[in-house]
Amino acid sequence: MKAFVIDSYKSKEGMVLRDVATPKVGDGDVLVEIHATSANLLDAKIRDGVFKPALKYKLPLILGNDLAGVVKAVGSRVTRFKVGDEVYARPDKDRIGTFAEYIAVAEADLALKPKSLTMEEAASVPLVALTAWQVLVERAHLKAGQTAFIQAGSGGVGTIAIQLAKHLGAKVVTTTGTSNVGWVKDLGADRVIDYRTERFETLVSGVDVFLDTQEGKEADKALSVIKPGGKLIGISGPLDARFAEDNDLGLLMKVVGFLMSFNLRRKAKRKGVTYDFVFMRAQGEQLGRITDLIDAGAIRPVVDRVFPFEQTPEALAHVEGGRAKGKVVIKVK
Q: What is the DSSP letter of 210?
A: E
Range of the domain at 161: 127-277
| CA nearest to 207, candidates 268, 279, 134 | 268
Q: Which of 262, 277, 292 is the last residue of a domain?
A: 277
Residue 253 banded pLDDT, cuts 50, 70, 90: confident
Q: Is the pLDDT of residue 246 over 90?
A: no
Claim to verify: residue 11 and residue 133 sit in the same structural domain: no
Claim to verify: residue 156 and residue 226 sit in the same structural domain: yes
Residue-by-residue DSSP string for 160-205: HHHHHHHHTT-EEEEEE-GGGHHHHHHTT-SEEEETTT--HHHH--
Claim to verify: residue 98 and residue 136 sit in the same structural domain: no
Claim to verify: residue 111 and residue 151 sit in the same structural domain: no
- Residue 287 located in a structural domain: no
Claim to verify: residue 17 and residue 120 sit in the same structural domain: yes
Claim to verify: residue 250 and residue 309 sit in the same structural domain: no
Claim to verify: residue 9 and residue 113 sit in the same structural domain: yes
Claim to verify: residue 7 and residue 44 sit in the same structural domain: yes
Q: How much is the pLDDT for 11?
A: 87
- Residue 294 located in a structural domain: no
- Residue 289 located in a structural domain: no
Number of structural domains the chain divides into? 2
CA atoms within 13 A on the CB side of 176: 28
Claim to verify: residue 31 and residue 102 sit in the same structural domain: yes
- Provide φ and ψ at 111, rounded to 5°: -140, 155
CA-CA distance, 206 to 31, in Å (whole number)? 47
**Residue 107: strand, helix, or coil:** helix
Claim to verify: residue 215 and residue 228 sit in the same structural domain: yes
For 117-149, how does the pLDDT look when each residue is reduced to its tens digit (9 = 90+)? 999 999 999 999 999 999 999 999 999 999 999
CA-CA distance, 94 to 249, in Å (whole number)? 13
Residue type, 126: P
For 68-78, how does the pLDDT look when each residue is reduced to its tens digit (9 = 90+)? 999 999 999 99
- Residue 204 located in a structural domain: yes
Claim to verify: residue 144 and residue 264 sit in the same structural domain: yes
Claim to verify: residue 35 and residue 106 sit in the same structural domain: yes
Q: How much is the pLDDT for 248?
A: 77
Where residue 164 sits, what CATH number does that domain have? Answer: 3.40.50.720
Query: CB of 213 within 8 A of CB of 157?
Result: yes
| CA nearest to 43, candidates 320, 277, 305, 333 | 320
Where residue 77 sits, what CATH number does that domain have? Answer: 3.90.180.10
Residue type, 49: G
